Amino acid sequence: MPKFAIEVNGLRKRFGDQVVLNGIDLAVMPGTIFALLGPNGAGKTTLIHILSTLINPDVGSARVAGYDVVRDKNEVKKSISLTGQFAAVDEVLTGEENLLMMCKLSGLTTAESRIRTSELLIRFDLAAAAKKRVKTYSGGMRRRLDLAISLVVSRPVLFLDEPTTGLDTISRRALWDNIIQLKEQGITIFLTTQYLEEADQLADSIAVIDQGRVATAGTAVQLKSRLGGEVLELRNGHDELLLVVPTSGKIQDVMLTLNELAHSLPPDTQVSIRKPSMDDVFLALTSKEREESYA
């Protein structure tokens, strides 16, 4: 295995006049979970499409499992599995037929395919629905089937594009468990999400992208600590959130901040002090950019 499972250098991509990726640099260590966090339209899917060889970048380079995504497409394909943003399952076939088909396409014999299919059906809690057509599956079942299909053979790098979007809490937790198990097998996981909590819970490292650039990157702890030590949360008498203000947590700083705010806020304002969350990181980054673009 090369030093990095995924390495991205100065990647740019535009569609027509619209610049979607404007110079992305990333590195993901083997056997870790990496989360790419960003709002809708940030370019997450575009980056996954480039890394999984579906489209070529305009400028810059990327290596997956040590292979260049433009020059060694076939070697990259042998090293990855992709679970796209929209469930890539065959609705006309049953869940079992979907898995059998993918096993055979992945080079397993018929006998191996049967064994692997029944293992995956059980592991992803789909055994009861195995012989039903996928058309009748719920969103969560489709997602689980989709993930199961990505795992018919073990590939060192797994791409998951918004794996839990649209799932209920229970299905989401179950999928998280699956993803953590995969990491324990040594698979490198590159996932995208719009949910800060997801990145916080799962990822060993995180990059936030916004407007085609990496706005910030690091571990969840690092990102939060960059916001300072403590966050002040101010709520009015009806317990509605008014303001979130990052501070260093030092007594002087907190007092100064509160003094400044005291004139402009109603007297019944409640103050609480807490550690920063991923939401704070995200809000701070995007609001900074908004201020800059207004300036």
Partner 1 sequence: MNTPPSVRKPASFGMTNVVFIGRSIRHSLRNAEALIMAIMLPIMLMLLFTYVFGGAIDPGGNYVNYVVPGIILLCAGFGSSSTAVDVAQDMTNGIIDRFRTMPIRSLSVVTGHVVASLARNLVASIVVIGVALLVGFRPSANGIEWLAALGVIILFILTFTWLFAAIGLVTGSPSAASGYGFALLFLPYLSSAFVPTSTMPNWLQGFANHQPITPVIETIRGLLTGTPIQHQGWWAIGWCAVILIFSISWCFIAFRRNAGLR
Ligand X SMILES: Nc1ncnc2c1ncn2[C@@H]1O[C@H](COP(=O)(O)OP(=O)(O)O)[C@@H](O)[C@H]1O
| Count of chain residues binding partner 1 (CB under 8 A) | 41
CA dist., res. 25 & res. 220, Å (int): 18
86 in contact with partner 1 (CB under 8 A): yes
How far apart are CB 249 and partner 1 at their closest, in Å?
A: 43
Backbone angles phi, psi at 224, to 5 degrees: -70, -40
How far apart are CB 192 and ligand X at their closest, in Å?
A: 7
CA dist., res. 48 & res. 216, Å (int): 18
* CB-nearer residue toward partner 1: 111 or 251: 111
Pairing relationship of beta strands 230-235 and 80-83 according to DSSP bridges: unpaired
Q: Which of residues 34-73 bind ligand X (CB under 6 A)?
A: 38, 40-46
Binding partner of 86, given ligand X, partner 1, Mg ion, none, CB within 5-8 angstroms per partner class: partner 1
In the complex, which residues of this chain contact Mg ion (CB under 5 A)? Answer: 44-45, 85
| Cβ-count burial 94-121 (b if 16+ within 10 Å, e if not) | bbbbbbbbbbeeeebeeeebeebbeebb
For 99, 124, 132, 273, the CA distances from 127, given in Å and listed in that order, are: 12, 8, 10, 48
CA dist., res. 49 & res. 155, Å (int): 17
Binding part of the chain for partner 1, among 85-93, 191-199, 216-224, 242-250 by CB under 8 A, reads 85-93
127 in contact with partner 1 (CB under 8 A): no
Pairing relationship of beta strands 59-64 and 6-15 according to DSSP bridges: antiparallel
Binding partner of 43, given partner 1, ligand X, Mg ion, none, CB within 5-8 angstroms per partner class: ligand X
Among 26, 81, 214, 285, binds partner 1 (CB under 8 A): 81
Among 58, 68, 90, 125, binds partner 1 (CB under 8 A): 90
Sequential DSSP letters for 77-124: HHHEEEE-SS----TTSBHHHHHHHHHHHTT--HHHHHHHHHHHHHHT
How far apart are CB 128 and partner 1 at their closest, in Å?
A: 20
140 in contact with ligand X (CB under 6 A): no
207 near 37, Cβ under 8 Å? Answer: yes
User: Site residues (CB under 8 A) for partner 1?
Assistant: 49, 52-56, 74, 77-78, 80-82, 84-93, 97, 101, 104-108, 112, 116, 119, 123, 133, 149, 151-154, 181, 185
User: Site residues (CB under 6 A) for ligand X?
Assistant: 15, 20, 38, 40-46
